[in-house]
Amino acid sequence: MNTKKSRVKRQVETVSFYETSIGAVSKPKKVIMNVEVEVESDWGCFEIADEDTWGEQFYAEGELEISDGVLYGYDGIFSLPDYIIDILKELNINTKQIENDLYE
């Protein structure tokens, strides 16, 4: 189990759009996102905000549910972006269960 606190901040280029429970409500737009992921022991969180408007246009934050180094759930966003999964892998968090759920 990882007891060391780890924090990763980076910018990623991605395509974003507004989406509700009924589907996409805007056209996809290429944006730069400021991404922060923090993991400590069996807990984690993330924050995502677009660079251009500092999160006024695109923003998300949430909790990462981790047990014994395995990501088993998350809250605060409909689908966990690939770039957050990539950061978690860099922090030695096993994401296979979530990836299987997302890509089945």
More confident residue, 26 or 70: 70
The domain spans of the chain are 6-103
Is 1's pLDDT higher than 50? Answer: no
What's the DSSP call for residue 92? T
Out of 15-19, 40-44, 69-73, 78-82, the most confident range is 69-73
Q: Tell me: the pLDDT tens digits for 8-66?
A: 999 999 998 767 677 777 788 899 999 999 999 889 999 999 999 998 889 999 999 99
DSSP string, 10-74: EEEEEEE--EETTEE-S--EEEEEEEEEEEETTEEEEEEEETTTTTSSSEEEEEEEEETTEEEEE
Q: Does pTM top 0.95 for this prediction?
A: no
Is 2's pLDDT higher than 70? Answer: no
